[in-house]
A and B are shown apart, each in its own frame.
Chain A
Amino acid sequence: MTTRPDPTPLADWVASTREGIRDGRFPARAFNDADVHALEQERLFSKAWCFLAHESEIPSPGDYVTRYIANNNLIVVRDENGEVHANLNMCRHRGNVMCKAELGNASHFRCSYHGWTYKNSGELIGVPYMKEGYEGRLKRKEWGLVRVRVESYEGLLFGCLDPEAESLADYLGDFRFYLDLYLKQGAEGVEVHGPPDHWVAETDWKICAENFAGDGYHTPVAHQWGFNLGYFPSSGSTHSQGWAVHVPGKGHGIGLGHSPNFPPFGGFPDELVEDMRTSLSPEQVAVFEKTRTAVGTVFPNLSFLMQPFSLVPGEPGVRFVTMRLYHPAGPGRMEMYSWCLVPRGADQAYKDEAYRCYTLAFGQAGTFEQDDFENWTKVTRSAESTMVRDVDFPYIMGMESEPDPEFPGPGTALVPYVNDTNFRNLWSRWGDYLAGEA
């Protein structure tokens, strides 16, 4: 191995990386590199459907949150007619930031520089000195806030910077089948328990996206303390049981972990299970009732985890769901947004317990999250060193495996749950975007 300045043009690196993925290899360099980060901003996050917010964060007219797609700050707002918009958080006059809060309610946004005023929907309605200054030359309707496409699935609001991109429904494709496990817990669906945990980490967003695309492999070691204290119904020897499912060509993937003798829909409240048995499709019921852990990633950077958990080890526990967005904030640097989703139809005691389970396990102080981020910051740090630029990692689990023919759901399902197949699919889609072929 030699260490040297890397003369390889980025396009060649992308091409050889895509070849490597097909052979079960992925380069360390991808996880901390300024050029790769810049290419992701340009070719991936400006083309893909990116998660913005959950509808329950902005339930009423005028409610807004500010969020990012790539490095663009957006106001995600519900207008007076109930329609959701995402507009660039920038005044069209001289570029000042319109909205300096990350959450609130407003019928209008007024710029603090020269006073241009917009309806919350983004239309320009107020311009000081309109007559004296602009003498009739400024047409208000041409100077509204810059709009971003918004579409939703079951309460999840996504934005896309590419006007030519496919619809969100097509983008998510068959992965909607699996998202329903998180989003259709009972007839009334889910809501956020409150604003997200929000922190910054010297971690590449892709490490998190991959881990949550179904990395059952890390759990018995990275979270060994949890097995040690008796938190898991599975043991190290049975933890590999379950399905790894991916949607080919889309990048999305989910791990569905099983345990021996796990009760059907274990951890859900009974009344929600009744709802789910009737409102979900028979195929969804067949997959979900067996599932203990469901950990999935919507390409590129939105993930979900559902897990039965108890506040003290050894009790049946409740299901908590965390939804997380990995906002790339620079090479090897990210902002984490981490929400807890609770079933709207559950009683308050269940919601509160599920939320406390979330805070104990995940979120910034969560005992499982803590160990993950310790590992992930170390991976990121390794990835920037010069020798590592020439190093690939193995992604060869499940290379020769045939899909499970009995699996009732869409996509490609492999056993065991401990598998790299979802990750090859994830990085393959990432490669398509970086090559400009998505």
Chain B
Amino acid sequence: MDRDLVHDVTEFLYREALALDERRFRDWLAMLTEDIRYEVPVRVTREGLADWELSPTSRIFDDDAATLEVRVRRLETDFAWAEQPPSRTRHYVTNVVVDPTEVAEEFLASSNCFIYRSRGDSPNPSFYSLARKDVVRRTADGWRLAKRWAAFDQSLINAHNLSIFV
């Protein structure tokens, strides 16, 4: 792939992560396409030769633009208790690999995402490791996220809730 393209996609993913970590959720929504699919499949521990370990039907997140808008509107009320006070997150995005897709202006961006989450006065942060296979789209207005596909590496997830975005 063209180096400039890889650089641009990587920087887009960094800026997207920055918007989440700075809790600029309106800015984050603006970085998504109107037809965004936002999916986090349920992982199941299975034998090595099993035909799937990420459930074909079960999702932790299964969102589109309308429901992501609902999640953000919720966070904008005074009653989103799960995020009062808010989680402090850092999304560490690494191992970015960019590949072409069958659509000219869309690219598959594979990455690792490590999330640090600190809550309240607890000295024990939570850590989540995810594999991401996103689709990014080049538009007249710049890069946009057309698909977020992220799978937790744990099958039993150590989070009392997932009131954050991955």
Which A residues fall within an 8 A CB radius of B?
100-104, 193-203, 222-225, 228-229, 311-313, 335, 355-356, 359-360, 363-365, 367, 369-371, 373-377
* A-B pairs with beta carbons under 8 Å apart, 18 shown: A104-B50, A199-B157, A223-B79, A225-B80, A228-B77, A229-B70, A311-B67, A311-B70, A312-B66, A312-B67, A359-B60, A360-B62, A364-B60, A364-B159, A365-B162, A369-B161, A370-B81, A374-B81
Give B76-105 interface residues, CB cut-off 8 Å to A. 77, 79-84
Given contact pairs A222-B81, A365-B40, A369-B161, A360 touches B67 in the complex (Cβ within 8 A): yes
A196 with B58: CB separation less than 8 A: yes
Contacts of A369 in B (CB 8 A): 161
> Does A367 lie within 8 Å of B74, measured CB to CB?
yes
Interface of A is mostly: mixed
Within 8 A of A (CB), among B31-66: 40, 42, 44-47, 50, 55-63, 66
Known: A224-B79, A371-B80, A373-B82. A201 touches B73 (CB 8 A): no
Any A CB within 8 A of the CB of B117? no
In the assembled complex, how far is the CB of residue A4 from the closest CB belonging to chain B, in whole angstroms? 26
The smallest C-beta distance from A192 to any residue of chain B, in angstroms, reads 9
- B residues near A, CB below 8 A? 40, 42, 44-47, 50, 55-63, 66-67, 70-71, 73-74, 77, 79-84, 155-163
Question: Contact: B46 with A102, CB < 8 Å?
Answer: yes
Contact among B42, B46, B77, B160 for A229, CB-based, below 8 A: B77
Find out whether the CB atom of B58 lies under 8 angstroms from the CB atom of A101.
Answer: no
Which residues of chain B are within 8 angstroms of A374 by Cβ–Cβ distance? 81-82, 84, 160-161, 163
What are the residues of chain B within 8 A of A356 when measuring CB–CB?
62, 67
Sample of 16 more A-B contacts, CB < 8 Å, known A104-B46, A193-B58: A104-B47, A193-B57, A194-B58, A198-B157, A199-B156, A201-B161, A222-B81, A224-B77, A228-B79, A313-B70, A355-B57, A360-B70, A363-B60, A364-B60, A370-B83, A375-B81
Choice from A200, A365, A367 contacting B158 with Cβ under 8 Å: A200
Kindly provide the distance from the CB of B26 to the nearest chain A CB, expressed in whole angstroms: 16
